[in-house]
């Protein structure tokens, strides 16, 4: 769920702008999180049981022009992106042009499916191959881990991904206020906007609001993407 700077009742036509260096992306106010797709360890995914429902959701969202999907190389150890790639392949071109894809990178030299140091550009190219596309709309850093790369180094790699045309916009995920501002400033040196920060935000977890993170987002034109808006079902 994308947070707006001013209060507004979301409707079918509501769009939020993810700022990019070369081009920005207009996205629906609601995004479909896909963590459970293909993830056997965390969610007990079973293809025969779960894939038909996934296909139904995919079709309905695309038909309604609300096809904004968030995936990651870490979801189901690459399987999530592969499932989305197969869905995209079977989608009519008339619907495919309106689909918006966001994916994420684990900030480590190696990860499942990339056992050698290929860097962020190599990791994104692997994701693009699994998805079957030449470019994603939003590429995000999955978690604020700086054991292997500094914020400055990550910013440089994100900018390279943009300059190579592999992604339209870039963002972070789970960054606190201070980390987000540092990334925003580091990217600015390359002329690349920080488009978003994907954070857990709901009525049970209001830290982004009380910590000043949301205010910092709005001051800088960064879109807060709220995951688990219903507290993983606890608020439903």
CB 167 within 8 A of CB 101: no
Lookup: tokens for 146: 């700086």
**What does the angle CA 172 – CA 24 – CA 120 come to, to the nearest 5 degrees?**
40
Which residues contact residue 49 at a Cβ distance below 8 angstroms, ignoring those fewer than 6 apart? none
- Give the Å distances, CA to CA, from 143 to 9, 10, 85, 113, 231: 30, 28, 23, 18, 19
CB 25 within 8 A of CB 100: yes
Euclidean distance between CA atoms 10 and 6, whole angstroms: 11
Euclidean distance between CA atoms 98 and 103, whole angstroms: 16
Question: Considering only CA atoms, which of 35, 133, 129 is closest in space to residue 77?
Answer: 35
69 is catalytic: no
Q: Which member of 45, 69, 75, 175 is catalytic?
A: 75
Which residues contact residue 47 at a Cβ distance below 8 angstroms, ignoring those fewer than 6 apart? none
Residue 224: enclosing H or E segment and its boundaries?
strand 223-227
Euclidean distance between CA atoms 171 and 58, whole angstroms: 24
- Residues carrying an active site annotation: 75
């Amino acid at each position: 769920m994308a947070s707006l700077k001013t209060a507004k009742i979301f409707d079918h036509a509501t769009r939020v702008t993810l700022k990019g260096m070369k081009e920005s992306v207009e996205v629906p106010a609601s995004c479909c999180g896909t963590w459970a797709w293909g993830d056997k360890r965390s969610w007990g995914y079973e293809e025969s049981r779960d894939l038909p429902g996934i296909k139904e959701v995919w079709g309905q969202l695309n038909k309604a022009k609300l096809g904004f999907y968030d995936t990651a190389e870490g979801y189901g150890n690459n399987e999530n992106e592969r499932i989305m790639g197969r869905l995209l392949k079977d989608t009519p071109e008339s619907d495919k042009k309106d689909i918006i894809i966001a994916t994420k990178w684990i900030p480590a030299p190696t990860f499942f499916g990339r056992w050698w140091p290929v860097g962020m550009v190599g990791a994104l190219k692997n994701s693009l191959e699994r998805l079957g596309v030449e470019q994603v709309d939003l590429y995000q850093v999955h978690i604020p881990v700086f054991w292997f790369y500094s914020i400055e180094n990550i910013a440089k790699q994100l900018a390279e991904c943009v300059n190579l045309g592999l992604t339209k916009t870039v963002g972070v995920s789970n960054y606190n206020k201070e980390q987000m501002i540092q990334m925003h400033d580091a990217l600015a040196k390359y002329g690349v906007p920080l488009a978003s920060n994907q954070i857990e935000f709901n009525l049970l977890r209001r830290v982004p609001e009380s910590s000043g993170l949301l205010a910092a987002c709005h001051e800088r034109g960064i879109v807060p993407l709220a995951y688990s808006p219903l507290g993983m079902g606890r608020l439903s």
